[in-house]
Amino acid sequence: MTQGSDKSNIVLIGMPGCGKTTTGKLLAALLDYTFIDCDQLIADKTGKSPRQVVEESGRDFFLNVQEEAVLSIKQTNCIIATGGGIVHSDTAMKYLKTIGFVLFLDAKYDIIEERMDASRKLVRTNGSLLELYNERKPLYCKYADAIIDCDSADSQLLCNRILKEIDNI
């Protein structure tokens, strides 16, 4: 990242299965940054997993908790892995853009579908994974400072792409 920038964080957005958490942890270790998982912030705040919050209190309540969790991030030199649906909050995304560079980890739909196994059911109240992908992809592109191809499951390769991209920012 360029010297003198007040954006010292790297924010990872994208669909579940694109590698935000796995890559984020590796990138944080490589840069000696703190790793922040927004889903963990939600769990810490509510005592429940994001899935439980949605199932027990509804999507609107979850979106509010998710937004509050993001707005609570005040640290610098962090890799922030967001929940896939954070792009539905304009407030949260505008805030994230003020504190960091937003990188969209973009994988083709068939790769996302392949990576989503029974243990990683998507938290959604209606619609298919494809409908969600088609709904969110334009939002990811809208908010991204850069788009990183993450079709490969190789986290080290993805980190190298990210490092190259942020050197150009």
In a domain, 36, yes or no: yes
> Is 4 inside a domain boundary?
no
Over residues 72-77, mean pLDDT = 95
The answer to the question of whether 84 is labelled as a binding residue is yes
Is position 17 annotated in a ligand binding site? yes
Residue 31 lies in a domain: yes
Q: How would you list the strands of the sheet with 100-106, edge to edge?
A: 34-37, 78-81, 9-13, 100-106, 146-149
Note whether residue 163 is domain-resident. Answer: yes
Q: Please, are residues 24 and 35 in contact by the beta-carbon 8 Å criterion? A: yes
**Which range marks the domain in which residue 122 is found?**
9-167
Question: pLDDT tens digits, residue range 97-130?
Answer: 999 999 999 999 988 888 776 445 554 445 688 8
Domain count, the chain: 1
Weakest-pLDDT range from 48-52, 136-140, 165-169: 165-169
Provide mean pLDDT across the span 59-86. Answer: 93
Would the annotation count 21 as a binding residue? yes
3-state secondary structure (DSSP) of residue 35: strand
End-to-end Cα, the chain, rounded Å: 6
CATH number at residue 145: 3.40.50.300
3, part of any domain: no
Q: Within the chain, what is the greatest distance between any pair of CA atoms?
A: 45
Per-residue confidence (pLDDT) for residue 118, from 0 to 100: 44
48 in a known ligand binding site:
no
